[in-house]
Amino acid sequence: MSGPIARLFAVVVVLFALLVGWTSRWTVFEASSLDNNALNARTLLDELKIKRGRILADDGTVLAQSVPAAGGTWSRSYPTRSLFAQAVGYSLPAQARAAGLELSRGQELRGLQTGLSSIFGQLTPRRVGDDVLTSLDPKAQQVAVQQLAGRAGSVVALNPQTGAVKVMYSNPSYDDNNPDATGPGISTVNRATQARYPPGSTFKVVSAVAAIDSGRYTPSSTVNGNSPVTISGVPLANDNNQSWGMIDLTTALTYSVNTVWAQVAEALGRPTLTDYMQRFGFYAKPPLDYP
């Protein structure tokens, strides 16, 4: 290859590399900022033409699906309505709004690719999203609805071996086919993930671990479980004001005896409990991918 031709070839290669690099920047690395730009109407049009994948319960029950709309677009339908509303959420692309799994699993439901594969994906954009199979159990969810009827609160049930969420219900609920509806007995707030509650009796586990680790207590150590008692100047009673007498810590944890664990916590002191709270994840955002 002669000198001039070689130089011309090198220039072409460099220009081609610059072209690939520049287009890759916008299609991969800057794609998110472009998609989120409020002035970019193409994103909305593309979104409406994607048939989002279904959201399914663990038995295959359809919790969310796409149905045909005008102009070759799609809209979302939620067959189970208020039963799974807070967990599943809703998707309103025209209003740039989403909640629940529709938000946290939006990439998968839209069939969007990431990384280098998205460069080629721009040539053949996805029109059908991926299904999302959840661990939610419709029968168990229905039990939660029945038990929480007439009361404000939430119920969450996890598989203790895997951490899979089997139940997530919040009352009052709403119909995710119409998330803008208002009135008594309607709320889009997921109390399970968006509300703040004191740890309650679950904190006894923190106190128990701190007590055993301190070396001052063993599972067979006994503490007076009478009720009521005064802790740090505040009166405290057991459930139904039941007095247990002298009982070991194993029994006190099994039956969640308030007065025993309050005395143990008071004896351990604030610095020790604060340390163990941090070890158990207090004061930190839990590593959950759910919004």
Q: Name the residue ranges covered by the structural domains of the chain.
A: 43-133, 138-194, 200-279
Same topology for domains 43-133 and 200-279, yes or no?
A: no
Q: What's residue 213's pLDDT? A: 98
- Say what the pLDDT of residue 44 is: 64
Q: Which of 74, 76, 73, 59 is nearest to 176 (CA)?
A: 76
Residue 124: per-residue pLDDT = 55
Q: Cα–chain-centroid distance for residue 181?
A: 23
| pLDDT score of 119 more than 60 | no
Q: For the residues 227-247, what does the mean pLDDT come to? A: 95
- Please report which confidence band the pLDDT of residue 291 belongs to, taking 50, 70 and 90 as the band edges: low
Of 51-60, 110-119, 200-209, 265-274, the least confident: 110-119
Region 134-149: mean pLDDT is 97
249: pLDDT strictly greater than 60:
yes
Q: What is the pLDDT of residue 229?
A: 95
256: CB partners within 8 A, 6+ apart: 201, 204, 239
Question: Averaged over 215-223, what is the pLDDT?
Answer: 97
Residue 222 to residues 41, 229, 244, Cα–Cα distance (Å): 69, 16, 11
The whole-angstrom separation of Cα 88 and Cα 72 is 25
Q: Please give the CATH architecture assigned to the domain spanning 43-133.
A: Alpha-Beta Complex (3.90)
Determine the residue type at 102: E
How much is the pLDDT for 42?
Answer: 62
pLDDT, averaged across the chain: 87
**What is the CB neighbour count within 10 angstroms for residue 153?**
14
Helix (H) or strand (E) holding 205: helix 203-214
pLDDT of residue 286: 78
Residue 197 confidence (pLDDT):
85
pLDDT at 19: 79
Report how far residue 19's alpha carbon sits from residue 141's, in angstroms, rounded to the nearest whole number: 53
pLDDT (0 to 100) of residue 202: 93
Class of domain 200-279: alpha beta
Chain-centroid distance of CA 209 in Å reads: 27
pLDDT at 2: 64
Place of tokens 């959201």: 55
Q: What is the mean pLDDT of residues 161-184?
A: 93
Q: What is the mean pLDDT of residues 87-95?
A: 91
Phi-psi region of 113 (alpha: psi -120 to 50; beta: other; left: phi over 0): beta
Q: Cβ-count burial of 20 within 10 angstroms (0-12 exposed, 13-18 middle, 19+ buried)?
A: exposed
- Check: pTM over 0.75? Answer yes or no: no
